[in-house]
Structure 1
């Protein structure tokens, strides 16, 4: 909208209140109506409507990609450790706004350990891989950024943190939706003629540790510049806010480390992946 001249400034982001999430039901006239059959998770693909569909997608992705629980465990520990460090050192204090007295993320577990991970039961009946630890929490949250044109920036004497260079989206198998976070990222870099080494910081929505493993396999030289403050395994995944959250984390990583290019990516239910490329402004 800004590029086309429709707007000069836009507040972009979202919020989620999972704690007040209503139960839903189909209208009796709908073909999927089955009496008092309530649900909270939307229908993401034709023919399948189950509360566990996202967990099933992560389970299937792990199975198809040959990902072990042990591989995922290391990412769970890393995410909580980095999030704990970020909180203790106040690395994200610049972008955190207290709401209703809440001043810290409640999902971060400083005492997360291998012993605890080994005790975690599988969340799916007959499942082999996905546990409550290697999948994200469902929680409340909000995050927003301000986008504006160069003209608006100059007229109001503002200073930008970064420039949006572009974005991309891709479609994939809805039964293994975690894959699309990496697919979208690869498409984004190819579109802009960039290589892995050109990106100073990567932020992916860590809905499942499966995504971490897929990223590390595709970008093996970038693990140390990936989700440097920890990810959604620690912070949680308030669906409507997660895009804004990882964008803010990416802006902070670029600023604190002095990097030039940063890339963010999200895998969405239904097999859709979205990625964003930013360039830090001096």
Structure 2
């Protein structure tokens, strides 16, 4: 709500002028099962506003934009509010299987004796909570945590621990500089705590980060030789993001000034064990079918799930064998200019509220193009479960 209300207040039309609301969310809480509809009503968009939520793991916020883009492209809608949200701090604590069976048996016990028999089977271990967040970050097909998939990517492309730590440091320094220079102005809304505390900027950014400091951290997933640590991984945070999608008719009708146009989007899938390479596939496909190459992109936003995962994608694009065998190219896709990649840092510094991140990187790519006076941007991300999404945009 804290980012939606200011956005709607800035518009020259009423909140009920939208055709529909689409919101990405992964960890939907039980008391708000369709957060898009809840948000629409709380934002005062009217009882007649259709609203639905989408879920494709980390790509949910981008999927919300993509779905709205298709509604408008097909002529069905003119004005859509598309967003993403996540409150990872509210991830559920669950009962384990034994506890569930106990409560089921207790519920079915009809006599006093049957209830006593059920209670006789109680064990303290039954009530050890299952952390829902850890469950959600573990792939059910491979039984690997997301960090372990990043370790596999680092192994495949020989990413060193020092390289991963250096990338993480760069992310923090770039974000700290962006905050100082006001690059997030008009994009990041201040938030207020229940006690009235004002939070003007994301506070996970560490401008004093260094490779030496990060080198002291132990591997988080594959000890003792792993390369993925808490310091070179995305932070677990809460967050939300909204964008307004409008047709040309809506732009003219309401006198809007668009920031960018969506050119195309593409989704790819691959082995869940190496889900971090998803962007390496979908980004090339969306560029290829629009006649562009690696040097035709002015701004790259590649979501920083893990430093090793980002570096793995970059290394894959430079690898001739990978490009020929997997991407179907005649040679290596090419080297991404690091001065064009995640210019203002990314999820390692800002955090990765999974349902919101895909939306945020599209929004930030738009604003960065405008700020730099550049033309073409590409936002892309890996998606848990072995997928990847990419969206190609051009500044207006």
- What is the TM-score of this pair, normalised by structure 2? 0.66
How far apart, CA to CA, are the structure 2 residues paired with 1:132 and 1:103? Answer: 25
Counterpart in 2 of 1:196? 294
Counterpart in 1 of 2:19? none
2:374 matched to 1:259? Answer: yes
Shift of 1:236: 0.7
Shift of 1:43: 7.3
Residues 208 and 125 (structure 1 numbering): CA distance in 2 closer, same or farther, change over 3 Å? closer
Counterpart in 1 of 2:216? 119
Provide the secondary structure at the position in 2 that maps to 1:202.
Answer: strand
Counterpart in 2 of 1:42? 136
Residues 43 and 257 (structure 1 numbering): CA distance in 2 closer, same or farther, change over 3 Å? closer
Shift of 1:48: 4.3
After superposition, residues 202-213 of structure 1 pair within 5 angstroms as 202-213=300-311
Task: Give the unaligned 5+ runs of structure 2.
Answer: 1-70, 102-124, 193-197, 318-333
Shift of 1:233: 0.7
Counterpart in 1 of 2:162? 70
2:202 to 91, 102, 105: 105
Q: Deviations over 1:177-208 (max 9, x none)?
A: 11112221111111211011111100011010
Q: CA RMSD in A?
A: 2.0
Shift of 1:134: 1.1
Provide the secondary structure at the position in 1 that maps to 2:388.
Answer: strand
Residues 185 and 25 (structure 1 numbering): CA distance in 2 closer, same or farther, change over 3 Å? farther
Checking the alignment, whether the CA contact within 8 Å between 2:377 and 2:392 is kept in structure 1 is yes
Shift of 1:6: 2.3
Provide the secondary structure at the position in 1 that maps to 2:298.
Answer: strand
2:177 to 67, 85, 93: 85
How far apart, CA to CA, are the structure 2 residues paired with 1:123 and 1:66? Answer: 18
How far apart, CA to CA, are the structure 2 residues paired with 1:260 and 1:88? Answer: 25
Counterpart in 1 of 2:42? none
Q: Deviations over 1:140-190 (max 9, x none)?
A: 111111111111111111111100011000001101111112221111111
Which structure has more RCO (C-alpha within 8 Å, separation ≥ 6)? 1
Counterpart in 1 of 2:149? 57
2:4 matched to 1:4? Answer: no
Number of equivalences: 275
Residues 22 and 46 (structure 1 numbering): CA distance in 2 closer, same or farther, change over 3 Å? closer
Counterpart in 2 of 1:268? 383
Counterpart in 2 of 1:177? 275
Checking the alignment, whether the CA contact within 8 Å between 1:136 and 1:237 is kept in structure 2 is yes
1:94 to 186, 196, 209: 186
Shift of 1:215: 4.0
Task: Give the unaligned 5+ runs of structure 1.
Answer: none
How far apart, CA to CA, are the structure 1 residues paired with 2:283 and 2:361? Answer: 14
- What is the TM-score of this pair, normalised by structure 1? 0.91
Q: Deviations over 1:36-74 (max 9, x none)?
A: 662413376544456xx1011111111122111112122
Checking the alignment, whether the CA contact within 8 Å between 1:13 and 1:243 is kept in structure 2 is no
Provide the secondary structure at the position in 2 that maps to 1:2.
Answer: helix
2:348 matched to 1:278? Answer: no
Counterpart in 1 of 2:358? 243
